[in-house]
Amino acid sequence: MFYDQEPTEKTGYLDQSFRLFHIRDQQDRIFPFHYHDFHKVVILLSGKVTYHIEGKAYHLKPWDILLVNQHAIHKPEILPSLPYERFVLWIRDDLEKESLTQCFQKASDRSFNLIRLKSRMQEKLKEILFELEASMKSTQFGNDILSDALFSQFMVYLNRIFLEKQYIFDQKSYTCDQQIQELLQYINHNLTADLSVDVLAEKYYLSKYHMMRKFKSETGYTLHSYINSKRLLLARDLISEGMPVIKAAAQSGFSDYTTFSRAYKKMFNKCPSAL
């Protein structure tokens, strides 16, 4: 389905395979760090935007593409004096053709989310994208079938580019704090480990308070809140896959079930057993 405006509030459930938005606005607005329960593709058409994803700040050019994987902490930072126009594509993480979402997992593995294309490849992408937009607005016979086919074509094209590294890699296209990047990668790959402030500070040779300040500055989250959120999201995924609640809590890094249950209810407004 095609939409002219992306919902501003976090939406936790996407009941279609994908949703497309084409948005142009100009407003002095500060976006908070947030995450989604689905994957997202952002394609900048115009404007001056720095997009923050998991501790990296990407300095975008027109027709740059960002792969924002499910549960990735992100926010755009926009220069309000210029119009901000973009395509945004929301994609379910459980697509029937699951190979189409490989690029998001690879973006997470690489800790790199940007696709910047040469002009020839850019034109091919534009052609598919505008055809998809037109098809989703159409009421002609078979428009839904055609839209699904064009979406699949777009995602195949995107995966080929990203998995085979056919994009332009420019180190000046992003900035980050290397220590915080290493810390983020360690946390996300070791959610069941001891991630106390003392242990992490010792591992990365940082003072506890300096580390916590830097982490909040780079991610928008306190260290404790970030770890807790990632563990809870992992637990919810495990429970939804059929794992018993107590086992899911333990395999997500929670040593105390009461603490887990209380935190889960606070974050998701439901008990873990209510999934």
Could you give the residue ranges of the DSSP H alpha helices within 164-194? 178-189
CA distance 167 to 146: 27
pLDDT at 10 over 90: no
CATH 1.10.10.60: which residues of the chain? 177-274
pLDDT at 247 over 80: yes
- Choose between 58 and 8: higher pLDDT: 58
Q: How far is CA 136 from the centre of its chain?
A: 24
Q: What is the mean pLDDT of residues 249-274?
A: 92
Q: What is the mean pLDDT of residues 51-72?
A: 96
Q: What is the mean pLDDT of residues 233-250?
A: 95
Instruction: Using pLDDT thresholds of 50, 70 and 90, give the confidence band for residue 275.
Output: low
Tell me which architecture the domain covering 2-173 has in CATH: Sandwich (2.60)
**Percent share of the chain, pLDDT over 90:** 85
CATH 2.60.120.280: which residues of the chain? 2-173
* pLDDT, position 146: 97
Q: What are the strands of the beta sheet with 49-53, ordered from one edge?
A: 74-78, 49-53, 56-59, 174-176
* pLDDT, position 94: 86
pLDDT digits (tens, 9 = 90+) for 89-101: 999 988 878 799 9
pLDDT at 66 over 60: yes
Specify the CATH number of the domain 177-274.
1.10.10.60
Backbone angles phi, psi at 231, to 5 degrees: -65, -40
CA distance 100 to 104: 9
* pLDDT, position 38: 95
Q: Which two structure tokens, joined as six digits, stand for 275?
A: 């999934």
* pLDDT, position 6: 53
pLDDT digits (tens, 9 = 90+) for 137-146: 999 999 999 9
Instruction: Using pLDDT thresholds of 50, 70 and 90, give the confidence band for residue 274.
Output: low
Q: CB–CB of 21/5 below 8 Å?
A: yes
pLDDT at 7 over 80: no
Backbone angles phi, psi at 39, to 5 degrees: -85, 155
pLDDT digits (tens, 9 = 90+) for 195-228: 999 999 999 999 999 999 999 999 989 999 999 9
